[in-house]
Amino acid sequence: MGSSVRKGKAVLPAEQAARPSREQPRRAATEDYHHEAQNANNGQAITASCKNKDADLQFKIQAYIDKNTVMIFSNTACSLSAKVKELFKSMSIPYCSLELDQTEDGQKLQDVLYELTMETSVPIVFVQQKQIGDYDKTLKAHKEGKIQKLLETKGHDHMQDSYDYDLIVIGGGSGGLAASKEAAKYGKKVMVLDYVTPTPQGTRWGLGGTCVNVGCIPKKLMHQAALLGQALQDSRKFGWQFEEKAVKHSWETMTEAVQNYIGSLNWGYRVSLREKKVTYENAFGEFVGPHTIKATNNKGKEKFYTAEKFLIATGERPRYLGVPGDKEYCITSDDLFSLPYCPGKTLVVGASYVALECAGFLAGLSLDVTVMVRSILLRGFDQEMANKIGEHMEEHGVKFIKEFVPIKVEQIEEGTPGKLKVIAQSTDGREIIEGEYNTVLLAVGRDACTRTIGLDKVGMKINERSGKIPVSDEEQTNVPYIYAIGDVLEGKLELTPVAIQAGRLLARRLYTGATLKCDYVNVPTTVFTPLEYGACGFSEETALEKFGEENIEVYHSYFWPLEWTVPSRDNNKCYAKIICNIQDNERVIGFHVLGPNAGEVTQGFSAAIKCGLTKAQLDNTIGIHPVCAEIFTTLSVTKRSGGNILQSGC
């Protein structure tokens, strides 16, 4: 039992002669041993009683080690024992010492200690249950700062060096990679497990998570492809001359280029992890017990690993409708960005930013696009802005079917793309409609990847309905050694930079004693619909609810980007709005812009908002001319006044 087993050392039979120590003479305790043996009736009984005695002594030794932060097995006659005690006294570290020459069974205890520690003499020092050794080893450990380090860690149930890793990160996306690289910076032994379960269509991708492979990166590149198409049209008005029929778009060329770039990012992450000495395995990680996970690779091979701490960063995957034909025939954003053939006439189901951004760029590439929406657009976003986005898309050829949901998807024809029939029902149940499309893209929400990673085996609480993980403001779950970041979190923004920031700060808090927590307030975002939307802070609805109509002032205006004047594009569509808190110096608490390069515009203002930007400061800022963002330095019409904000020109 006890530490002999833990250390993997054989328990030597008690009959073995006690080894004389260097520092102390043979003890009279041996006599006691003989006494007991002689009292026994036969050979076996002697053995038995020897073994029992041994077990008792092992137990006693172990108890001393376990119960004391610093344990010194010592001898009053031993000068090195005295020296080691002095050492701890000089460090003002309290210790417990057992003087073996003064203890009953002292010699036997010493023998047991030898079997446990392989130290032939006293003193034998333990710190936080970890064996340091004799005086020389203790002095060396002290000089290397190891003793201090051991004392700083709070008492653990397990010994640190019995774990395979300091930190295992499950999920190699934005959050997981940032946290693992940061932890490795501080010398921690880190492993990252990343695994992509193929989509129902069989799509898979490499290291880097959603953003890099099937999210932000390919989305923005395809959005750019669409914008360039528009720019080509505008260019004629600026004097560029070419035949209309010379302009065609190749889906395959675009997708190959995008995938190539993503491939270089996947590779870059592999190199980066290797260089920073983070172990990476392409395997599915799941908990099988406390501090233990099982990693299964795509060949089914299983490996088990233990770690002192874990970080769950498994993200989300697209939700399906749960209607016949959805998994067989529909695709999601997981499939779209690597689709080897042009999707053709597309039905996008959903009203999220994923749905609208995808519908937007597909239409921009001259595809026939319809969006089927159950209720409102962009739930959770400022609804005035959401509606303007929808209107703009409609004016530019995107068809909307509102208040309908698909109830069945059938295949009419196979092919790449094939032909699909979608049967949909109105939300009030009264009407059924049908439509034919080459591709049906589902974008009806994303589900957290927490159901199949064994969280029940470690007693982790998750939100049963959504699957998301509630955490403290330090990203700690209800299990003290398990943390979580990124899209899996309940109640937090699902954005790459948020996950990265949270991951880095968490690693610093865990391994450097830093205290800075992730600030989830006033995080700027941008929706890359054809008319881009950038926002920071409160939506108008939320501000009204929180502060009351009389306490907020909304300044707004339309604006016309100079670049759009010559091609006569979209006047009085671009829109700027700020929401100010009257009771707090007209502090800007909400920033909204609808127009080109909305992300670039919003980033700068979000820094100002973090500094406590007020309306007066904005008014005091001189604009840059001629750019879209300057509108924010000259806002004067409030919603309250009902004044006209239509523009007639520069």
Partner 1 sequence: MGWEEKAARGYSEFVQAAQQSRGRPVFAFFSGDKDAQGRSWCPDCVTAEPVVRSELNSLPDGAVFIYCQVGDRAYWKDPNNEFRKNLKVTAVPTLLKYGTPQKLVEEECLNRELVRMLFTED
Give the integer Cα–Cα distance in Å for 538 and 546. Answer: 10
Cβ distance to partner 1 smaller for residue 131 or 338: 338
Residue with Cβ nearer partner 1 (10 or 271): 271
Handedness of CA 402, 404, 406, 412 (dihedral sign): negative
Residue 275 or 436: which CB sits closer to partner 1?
275
Q: Does 260 bind partner 1 (CB under 8 A)?
A: yes
Residue from 53, 130, 270, 374 binding partner 1 (CB under 8 A): 270
State the Cα–Cα distance between residues 321 and 324, nearest whole angstrom. Answer: 9
Which residue from 467, 178, 169 is spatially nearest to 311, judged by alpha carbons? 169
The site for partner 1, by CB under 8 A, has a size of: 10
Give, for 205, the enclosing helix (H) or strand (E).
Answer: none
Torsion of CA 334, 340, 344, 345, to 10 degrees: -20
Using the rule CB under 8 A, which residue among 26, 274, 303, 640 binds partner 1?
274
CB of residue 168 to partner 1, shortest distance in Å: 21
Q: Which of 158, 223, 396, 625 is catalytic?
A: 625
267 contacts partner 1 (rule: CB under 8 A): yes
For residues 613 and 633, is the Cβ–Cβ distance under 8 A? no
Reduced to 3 DSSP states, what percent helix, strand and coil does the chain have, rounded to the nearest 5? 40, 20, 40
Q: Which is nearer to partner 1, 260 or 648 (CB)?
A: 260
* Residue 341 binds to partner 1 (criterion: CB under 8 A): no
276 binds partner 1 (CB under 8 A): no
Taking the complex as a whole, the smallest distance from the CB of residue 275 to partner 1 amounts, in Å, to 7
Nearest to 620 by CA among 606, 636, 633: 633
CB of 271 to partner 1, least distance (A): 6
Contact stretch for partner 1 (CB under 8 A) within 169-177, 269-277, 424-432, 501-509: 269-277
The rounded distance, in Å, linking the Cα atoms of 261 and 206 is 12
> Per DSSP, what are the bridge partners of residue 410?
421
With respect to partner 1, which residue has the nearer C-beta, 76 or 298? Answer: 298
Is there a contact between 311 and 176 (Cβ–Cβ < 8 Å)?
yes
Cα 119 to the chain's mean position, in Å? 46
Interaction between residue 304 and partner 1 (CB under 8 A): no
Distance between first and last Cα of the chain = 86
Using the rule CB under 8 A, give the single segment among 266-274, 433-441, 562-570, 601-609 that binds partner 1.
266-274
Instruction: Note whether 261 binds partner 1 by CB under 8 A.
Output: yes
- Whichever of 149 and 274 has its CB closer to partner 1, that residue is 274
Q: How far is the CB of 260 from partner 1 (least distance, A)?
A: 6
Rounded least distance, CB 381 to partner 1, Å: 35
d(CA 650, CA 643): 19
Least distance from partner 1 to the Cβ atom of residue 257, Å: 11
- Residue 263 Cβ vs partner 1, minimum distance, rounded to whole Å: 4
Contact stretch for partner 1 (CB under 8 A) within 262-270, 311-319, 533-541, 547-555: 262-270
| Residue 271 makes contact with partner 1 by CB under 8 A | yes
Question: According to the binding rule CB under 8 A, does residue 263 interact with partner 1?
Answer: yes
Stretch that binds partner 1, among 259-267, 347-355, 436-444, 448-456 (CB under 8 A): 259-267
Of 47 and 272, nearer to partner 1 (C-beta) is 272
* Helix (H) or strand (E) run with residue 341 in it: none
- Binding segment for partner 1 (CB under 8 A), chosen from 177-185, 256-264, 311-319, 587-595, is 256-264
Looking at 275, 413, 434, 456, which residue binds partner 1 (CB under 8 A)? 275
Residue 264 near partner 1 by CB under 8 A: yes
Contact 308, 299 (CB under 8 A): no
Taking CB under 8 A as the binding criterion, the range among 21-29, 78-86, 268-276, 612-620 that sits at the site for partner 1 is 268-276
Indicate if the alpha-carbon torsion angle 564, 566, 570, 572 is positive or negative.
Answer: positive
Q: How far apart are CA 104 and CA 459, in angstroms?
A: 45
Stretch that binds partner 1, among 73-81, 260-268, 507-515, 590-598 (CB under 8 A): 260-268
- CA distances (Å), 546 to each of 104, 522, 534, in order? 74, 15, 22
Q: Is 625 known to be catalytic? A: yes
Quote the least distance from Cβ 277 to partner 1, whole Å: 9
Residue closer to partner 1 by CB (options 137, 189) is 189
Residue with tokens 């009053």: 76
Q: What is the 3-state secondary structure (H, E, C) of 122-162?
A: CCEEEECCEEEECHHHHHHHHHCCHHHHHHHCCCCCCCHHH
Nearer to partner 1, 186 or 267 (CB): 267
Cβ–Cβ contacts within 10 Å for residue 572, how many? 12
Q: Does 198 bind partner 1 (CB under 8 A)?
A: no
Q: β-strand 190-193 against 124-127: which pairing, if any?
A: unpaired
Provide, rounded to whole angstroms, the least separation between the CB of residue 184 and partner 1.
Answer: 14
Please state, in angstroms and rounded to a whole number, the distance separating the CA atoms of residues 532 and 534: 7
Binding status of residue 320 toward partner 1 by CB under 8 A: no
Cβ 254 to partner 1, closest distance in Å?
Answer: 17
Strands 574-581 and 346-349: unpaired
Nearer to partner 1 by Cβ, of 238 and 267: the residue is 267
Question: Which residue, among 133, 120, 64, 142, has the nearest Cα to 96 in the 3D structure?
Answer: 64
Write out the residues near partner 1 by the rule CB under 8 A: 260-261, 263-264, 266-267, 270-271, 274-275
**Active site positions, annotated:** 625
